[in-house]
Amino acid sequence: MYLPSPRCTGSTSKLLPSVSLSLSWQRLNHSFTGQIMASDGSAKGDKAVAKFHEYLVGCKRVIALSGAGLSAASGLATFRGAGGLWRSHDATSLATPGAFNRDPALVWRFYSYRRHKAMQADPNAAHYALAELARRLPGFQHLSQNVDGLSQRADHPREQLQLLHGTLFEVKCNSKVCDYKEENFVDPIVPALDIPHDSHDPTTNKALGKDKKGKELDISDASVKIADIPREDLPQCPRCKKDLLRPGVVWFGEQLPTQVLSNVDEYFDEGDVDLIMVVGTSAKVYPAAGNIERARMTGARVCVVNMDENDAPAGGWEPGDWFFKGDAGTIVPELLRPVIGDVKMPSAKA
């Protein structure tokens, strides 16, 4: 069913979102009023896609709000639902300053594991599609909640990519009185955080003489034993030499980067938004999720791409919204095709 949604003519006063990261467990709107659904999990050939294409080509100002589902096609865990645990810990419980202060070794294990997996992964077609949209459409802004670095590796124009939650590949001093910060792509960041290997597994490349370390163990599984790491073997701040380094991500309860918030505010101040695409996120984490309603207030239409049809956008569904169920890596390039053409993927690694 499709119900046309006229452009909003009400106030465009911007919402002032909270500047700290928090979760909102608001009740989902299950009525799906006005929703356009791609029934087969694929965007191709669907009437909804044609309607979306027709609208997209007239858009001048577009936002993408992306989450972990954008990188799922690259093989990265979303840490949601049944897969939301890491060594029996709720992944969100490890993403707090308190967790780091209580058990920095556990938190560093978690983030070092994520860094390792992100470095092994490749950007998928959706990353490249959004990067190409940025090059083709000056009025496009990508508000990313992802910390995996895959959008950057897809050559996404940096000025049109706002990293709301920071990045795994930046570290900073945990001390409030030390401002040390740097990019870091060393894997592992310190030897103690190296992923353990099973050198006795005959099914690994070691049997072929290709890998002297053996099969990499899945330390996300709580049954896999890992050694304790003394505090002195964790990443240390080289400037103050008194505290640990920590991942350069935004944890729950922390402020979002001031410059990023300023960039987003400036974008909204520059004019009305035609479309906001919500890709691979349940949009429950604020203040990021508040940008959906903020865009609606200027008249934006909402398009959701997600594996879970129960993930309503913040504020619920409204007439004229689109919902496409399926893999972002397949659907996003097809949705953007009228503007970006075919996505050009780099040649496979040798």
- Give the separation between CA 250 and CA 346, rounded to whole angstroms: 31
Structure token pair of residue 302: 């909402």
For residue 287, tell me if it sits in a domain: yes
Asked if 106 and 59 sit in the same domain, the reply is no
Is 173 known to sit in a ligand binding site? yes
Residue 97 lies in a domain: yes
Whole-structure pTM value? 0.85
- The residue that leads in pLDDT, 312 or 224, is 224
Active centre residues (catalytic) = 165
Other beta carbons within 10 angstroms of residue 289's beta carbon come to: 25
Tracing tokens 């996300």 back to the chain, one arrives at 220
Q: What is the DSSP letter of 136?
A: H
Is 240 one of the annotated binding-site residues? yes
Q: Within this chain, do residues 198 and 274 fall inside the same structural domain, yes or no?
A: no
190: CATH: 3.30.1600.10
Annotated binding-site residue? 8: no
Among 202, 228, 249, the domain boundary falls at 249
pLDDT digits (tens, 9 = 90+) for 210-232: 555 678 999 999 999 999 999 99
The structural domain count of the chain equals 2
Quick check: 128 and 343 in contact, CB under 8 A?
A: yes
Q: Are residues 159 and 265 in the same domain?
A: yes
pLDDT tens for residues 71-117? 999 999 988 765 578 999 999 999 999 999 999 999 999 999 999 99
What mean pLDDT do residues 29-52 have? Answer: 55
Closest-CA residue to 323 (of 339, 337, 312): 312
Residues 268 and 186 in one domain: no
Is 59 marked as binding a ligand? no
Within this chain, do residues 105 and 174 fall inside the same structural domain, yes or no?
yes
Note whether residue 152 is domain-resident: yes
56 and 172 fall within a common domain:
no
Residue 204 and residue 334 in one domain: no
Partners of 38 in the beta sheet?
A: 324
| Contact residues for 200 (Cβ-Cβ < 8 A; gap 6+) | 214
- CA 119 to each of CA 24, 74, 112, 130, 303: distance values in angstroms, whole numbers, following the listed order: 31, 11, 11, 20, 30
> Which of 186, 219, 249 is the C-terminal boundary of a domain?
249
Phi, psi of 306 (to 5 degrees): -160, 155
Per-residue DSSP letters for 73-108? TTT-----GGG-EETTEEGGGGSSHHHHHH-HHHHH
Regarding whether 24 and 150 lie in a shared domain, the answer is yes
User: What CATH number corresponds to the domain at position 50?
Assistant: 3.40.50.1220
